[in-house]
Structure 1
Amino acid sequence: MTERPVSEMTFEEAMAELEQVVGKLERGDVALEDSITLYERGAELKKRCETKLKEAEEKVAAITLDDEGNPAGLKPVEGQ
């Protein structure tokens, strides 16, 4: 695991670290205090993944198609 701020991670980085956190918690070989810290980090990572997925979904939804089904351009996403 890294000490990199979760807010700076890509989706892939956050997901990879989240998998590590879950693996450690599932094994149950971590002290209680460390488990709490891992759980908190995992919650942050999960939220980051959800945020990045939502951003990607909004970008995909903003693509408009022409009459033949080809991308015709992007329409602005509200709040962007």
Structure 2
Amino acid sequence: MSDKPVTEMSFEEAMRELEAVVGQLERGDVALEDSIKLYERGAELKARCETKLKEAEEKVAAITLDQNGTPTGTTPVEGL
């Protein structure tokens, strides 16, 4: 598990760590107290991934296409 704050992780970093956390929890060979910490970290990682995906979806949705389907620019999305 990384010591990097979840809020500073890219989508890819958070996803990799989330997969590792899920793998550890699925194996079931982790002490109860450690399982709770892993679950909490996993919840933070899941939320980070969801946030990054939402940001990406908003950016994609903001792309303006002309009549031929060619991108002509982007429309600013609030907060991005």
TM-score, L = length of structure 1? 0.97
Aligned residues: 80
Cα offset for 1:78? 2.6
Matched with 2:76 is 76
- The one-letter code of the counterpart of 1:73 is G
Structure 1: gaps of 5 or more residues: none
Structure 2: gaps of 5 or more residues: none
Provide runs of 4+ in structure 1 moved above 4 Å. none
TM-score, L = length of structure 2? 0.97
Report whether the alignment pairs 1:57 with 2:71.
Answer: no
- Structure 2 CA distance for aligned equivalents of residues 52 and 76 of structure 1: 17
- Structure 2 CA distance for aligned equivalents of residues 7 and 23 of structure 1: 22
- Structure 2 CA distance for aligned equivalents of residues 50 and 79 of structure 1: 16
